[in-house]
Amino acid sequence: MTGTATTEEKVAAARADLAEREGVLIAFSGGVDSSVVAAIAQEALGERAVACTAKSETLPEAELEDAKRVASEIGIDHEIVSFSELDSEKFVANDDDRCYHCRTMRLGRMYEAARELDIETVCDGTNADDPGAGHRPGLQAVEELEVCSPLLAHDITKEEVREIADEFELSVAEKPSMACLSSRIPTGLDVTDERLTRIERAETLLRTWGFSTFRVRDHDGLARIEVAPEELERALDGAFARAAREHLTDLGFEHVTLDLEGYRTGSVSPAGDVDAADADTGAEEPDAETGTDERTLLGAEYPGADRA
């Protein structure tokens, strides 16, 4: 496929390639990249295409539910399997290659599921922009395991992926990128179930409170909240500060801080480590309802915060 091909031609070529296979299993996160691959595969192969989501401690429950919903939108068969990255001492150690260890285990579980379904080909959502996006140790696992990457193979960029998702009328067409929960833990600090659990619960709170783009970084008991610059003014409100401190300390954090630089990818990972920063999830769009009355903020916008 040449660089002058149109997006439509690239999609047609990817569909034709997939149609020649006996069947494919797509490593399916419910993010826009894997959703587009699943949609193209479903068109090409029908019931011989299967989306597969691997459930583990690093996958937020909200993302699993999102994956189920998007698979239903596409109309593709959806399998859910389980594994634990915490079984790997190398993953738990959280070094510069954590994403390599994670992706190796996750894709290995995909191949096991594919064998159980008598499917030879495993696909993922690596797109044409990914190899040039900084330190990407997870891509090494994709290459070593000989995973099929239709978007990469046909030079489909992230921008084109979103265009294709829009053509398929997928609800995730504009879904922000999201990495697994372990990306919130600074490199070198062990990944533990306790840390992953309190991070997920803290981020669920922020989502419930209407924030759109955010992270809660876990610095060994200190919660560092990052929100998008356009949402920073709201986070600077005293009512939010009190609610966040109260709820996050209840979750097990010893200290709660707000990062005034705002949200950015990879802020606790090696420079340029995109795998460890953000690769495929999404937060809901905020309702944009922000009052100025402190009692309203404490009692309604931040439920449960007014305990006086």
| Greatest alpha-carbon span in the chain | 66
Q: How many CB atoms lie within 10 A of CB 167?
A: 14
Residues 266 and 135: their CA atoms lie apart, in Å, by: 11
CB contact at 8 A, 33 and 151: yes
Confidence at residue 301, expressed as pLDDT on a 0 to 100 scale: 59
191, two tokens: 């990944």
Task: Please report, in tens digits, the pLDDT of each residue of the chain (308 residues total).
Answer: 445 899 999 999 999 999 999 999 999 999 999 999 999 999 999 999 999 999 999 999 999 999 999 999 999 999 999 999 999 999 999 999 999 999 999 999 999 999 999 999 999 999 999 997 666 788 899 999 999 999 999 999 999 999 999 999 999 998 877 788 999 999 999 999 999 999 999 999 999 999 989 999 999 999 999 999 999 999 999 999 999 999 999 999 999 999 999 998 766 665 444 443 334 432 222 222 233 333 333 344 565 544 33
Question: Which is the CATH superfamily of the domain at 7-167?
Answer: HUPs (3.40.50.620)
pLDDT at 219: 97
Q: Roughly how many angstroms between the first and final C-alpha of the chain, as a whole number? A: 65
Q: Are the beta carbons of 25 and 117 closer than 8 angstroms?
A: yes
Which residue bears the tokens 């356009």? 230
3-state secondary structure the chain: CCCCCCHHHHHHHHHHHHHCCCCEEEECCCCHHHHHHHHHHHHHHHHHEEEEEEECCCCCHHHHHHHHHHHHHHCCEEEEEECCHHHCHHHHHCCCCHHHHHHHHHHHHHHHHHHHCCCCEEECCCCCCHHHCCECHHHHHHHHCCCECHHHHCCCCHHHHHHHHHHCCCCCCCCCCCCCHHHHCCCCCCCCHHHHHHHHHHHHHHHHCCCCCEEEEEECCEEEEEECHHHHHHHCCHHHHHHHHHHHHHCCCCEEEECCCCCCCCCCCCCCECCCCCCCCCCCCCCCCCCCCHHHHHHHHCCCCCCC
Q: Cα torsion at 28, 168, 4, 46 (round to 10°)?
A: 60
Describe the strand order of the beta sheet including 121-123 as a list of residue ranges.
Answer: 77-82, 49-55, 24-27, 121-123
Query: For 213, phi and psi rounded to 5 degrees?
Result: -120, 115
230, 211 contact by CB (below 8 A): no
HSE at residue 251, side-chain half, CA atoms within 13 A, is 26
Q: pTM for this structure? A: 0.83
- Let me know: does 277 contact 179? Beta carbons within 8 Å: yes
